[in-house]
């Protein structure tokens, strides 16, 4: 593992590499790196919508496009010129895990389509017309604690549970009588 918060490591990268790839890296690349070396992020979100943590969950809840993005990194998180994107189709029965798996497949397709053009420096970047939004880990943690008094449509509540259901992970929970109860949803079609 390379620590990009270490200035000496950043200097070593700058002097030894022309391109850096970030694939699900949880470190924030500093301006001292992204301004001096072409850094590309393979992001499991459809930028600029819901940049940051768990983009598929926030996109599902907010009714925004879900997919994968390759972008040239700048000093902001999941931000910068976009090289390529793939949107995924989401079924009403898909939970966060199924959606995430579709996004990973879209990322693999993007890598196959664009890797050589990145290496050959033969690409065009486009910039979104809007900034979008960013969701951090704390935003996701707040989502996980369900408000039993929440008012909304049944569809909104189902989408929230779908967004928080990710395999065996215990994400969604509510507290009753000082005890924590975990909940997930399973939906099947006919």
3-54 confidence digits (pLDDT tens): 898 899 999 999 999 999 999 888 889 999 999 999 999 999 999 998 999 9
Kind plus residue range of the DSSP H or E element containing 99: helix 96-119
Reading the block at residue 33, the tokens are 């790196």
Q: Are 30 and 10 in contact (CB under 8 A)?
A: yes
Is 126 in the active site? no
Secondary structure (3-state) at 182 = strand
Percent pLDDT > 90 in the chain is 89
State the chain's mean pLDDT as an integer: 95
Reading the block at residue 162, the tokens are 């779908």
Q: Report, as an integer, the average pLDDT of 86-115.
A: 97
pLDDT of res. 1? 76
Which residues, 6 or more positions from 108, have their beta carbon under 8 angstroms from its beta carbon?
none
pLDDT of res. 113? 97
Among the listed residues 43, 49, 71, 79, the single catalytic one is 43
Tell me, yes or no, if the pTM score tops 0.85.
yes
pLDDT of res. 2? 85
């Amino acid at each position: 593992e390379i620590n990009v918060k270490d200035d000496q490591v950043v200097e070593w990268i700058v002097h030894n590499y022309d391109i850096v790839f970030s694939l699900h890296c949880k470190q924030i690349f500093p301006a001292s790196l992204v301004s001096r070396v072409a850094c590309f992020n393979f992001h499991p979100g459809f930028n600029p919508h819901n940049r940051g943590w768990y983009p598929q969950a926030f996109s599902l809840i907010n009714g925004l496009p879900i997919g994968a993005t390759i972008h040239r990194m700048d000093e902001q998180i999941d931000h910068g010129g976009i090289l390529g994107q793939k949107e995924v189709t989401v079924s009403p029965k898909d939970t966060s895990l199924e959606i995430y798996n579709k996004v990973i497949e879209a990322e693999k397709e993007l890598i196959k389509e664009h890797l050589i053009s990145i290496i050959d420096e033969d690409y065009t970047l486009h910039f979104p017309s809007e900034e979008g939004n960013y969701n951090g880990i704390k935003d996701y943690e707040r989502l996980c604690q369900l408000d039993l008094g929440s008012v909304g449509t049944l569809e909104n509540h189902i989408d929230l549970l779908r967004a928080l259901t990710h395999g065996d992970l215990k994400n969604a929970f509510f507290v009753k009588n000082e005890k924590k109860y975990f909940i997930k949803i399973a939906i099947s079609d006919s």
